[in-house]
Amino acid sequence: MRIFVNALSARLGGGQTYLLNLLKHIPKDLQVYILTQPTFHLDALPNNVVKIEQSSLVNPLLRAVWEEVCIPSILKKLKIDLFFSPGGLLPKSLPRGMLTAVTFQNMLPFDHLQRVKYSYGYRRFRDWMLKRGLSSSMRQADLVIFLSKFAREFIRQDLGELAGRSALIPHGIHPSFRANGIPLSRPDWAPNSDYFLYVSWIDHYKAQLELVRGFNLYYQQGGKGVLLFVGAEYTPYADIVRKEIVNLGLSESVRFIGNVPHGELPAAYQNAKINIFGSFTENCPNILLEMMVSGRPALVSNFGPMPEFGKNVVEYFNAASPVSFAMQLSKLMGDHARQNHLGNAAMQEAEKYTWEQTAQLTWNAIRNTKKDRYDCKWQI
């Protein structure tokens, strides 16, 4: 089976990590061609994977036009059986009869409550367009891969039953994040005192502003420790959060670290007093899974799909309520036995999430799409 993977949109860590792990565990009976931009470094690929580079397509509108005009001829030339879009979008001009598969990874365009937090402009228009494009692609695709039950049910309610198959295949966890009994050294950028770590994109739907306000309440009640935000920023929102930190007099106790190398995160999680994840909306929360295998307790948003993955081995709070965050943080800090229990239980719960399994299920689903194309009810 000859598969074409459109990876032009995989410009950030999460999308690239997903593809790297799929390609690392690709079955030998599949021939895969992957279309990428030069900034996506793919090294030591298996012999049955061919990389095709296309530069100067950073602009999403230019990229969309190029895909519609140029990809069909490439597919015909390579005699492709199935077109796979990990980013979720399908060109309109694919050759008639070609099998298609998409992965649904971006929940934000479908979450109206979060989208309206952005002022009118490019960002809001982009998410509106993305919803239309992703919806059309999922309706058209022969296979839609969902990363969580929450996302699958959300789309079913929003779009109705899809014409093609669906598969439920969560992401895996890199082995470097799993605590193995050998303590990792504290990163140089982390304070020597107790710290609470929130690793994520700094943006409206990640609730950093609510957490700052909740942390202020926690401090007023005699709480101690430093709250660290690690990750790249959506500048307009990050400026609002920084201003609130100054207004509340928290400049010494709430810090922006910025983006750090991915390889430093396991040590950061393992040395945190409590790891935090406060998102309003996710598809498959990779960061939560990485936190869970660190051996440290986690305080997590109760918005879906977090409870699907965290079950009863993390502590929850209402991400929309600073009071809830302050109360749950104080409660967990005062219960050392609970901290130890959660850290150990979360490690065991997250053991089942491996990239080997994710890749095996994904390629099997894609392979079986050709076998029984018109079986609309099939699922993993």
Q: What is the pLDDT of residues 280-296, one digit of tens each?
A: 999 999 999 999 999 99
Same-domain pairing of 118 and 190? no
Rounded mean pLDDT, 82-103 = 93
Same-domain pairing of 57 and 187? no
d(CA 351, CA 178) in angstroms, rounded, equals: 9
CATH number of 113's domain: 3.40.50.2000
378 in a domain, yes or no?
no
pLDDT band, residue 372 (cuts 50/70/90): low
379 in a domain, yes or no?
no
pLDDT at 336 (0 to 100):
96
pLDDT band, residue 311 (cuts 50/70/90): very high
pLDDT digits over 119-160, tens only? 888 888 888 999 999 999 999 999 999 999 999 999 999 999
250 in a domain, yes or no?
yes
pLDDT at 81 (0 to 100):
94
d(CA 15, CA 128) in angstroms, rounded, equals: 20
Mean pLDDT, the chain, integer: 91
Determine the structural domain holding residue 247 and report its residue range: 175-352
d(CA 74, CA 325) in angstroms, rounded, equals: 52
Same-domain pairing of 117 and 213? no
376 in a domain, yes or no?
no
Same-domain pairing of 209 and 280? yes
pLDDT at 234 (0 to 100):
94
Same-domain pairing of 229 and 323? yes
135 in a domain, yes or no?
yes
Same-domain pairing of 156 and 190? no
d(CA 365, CA 378) in angstroms, rounded, equals: 10
| 344: exposed, middle or buried (Cβ count in 10 Å: 0-12, 13-18, 19+) | middle
Number of domains in the chain: 2
Same-domain pairing of 191 and 232? yes
Which tokens is 256 given?
A: 């922006």
Same-domain pairing of 265 and 121? no
371 CB-near residues (< 8 Å, 6+ apart): none
380 in a domain, yes or no?
no
Same-domain pairing of 299 and 249? yes
Same-domain pairing of 31 and 166? yes
pLDDT at 377 (0 to 100):
39
- The model's pTM: 0.91
285 CB-near residues (< 8 Å, 6+ apart): 277, 279, 305, 306, 309
At residue 376, does pLDDT exceed 70? no
pLDDT digits over 42-75, tens only? 777 888 999 888 876 767 777 888 888 888 999 9
Same-domain pairing of 210 and 290? yes
Same-domain pairing of 212 and 301? yes
pLDDT digits over 216-239, tens only? 999 999 999 999 999 999 999 999
377 in a domain, yes or no?
no
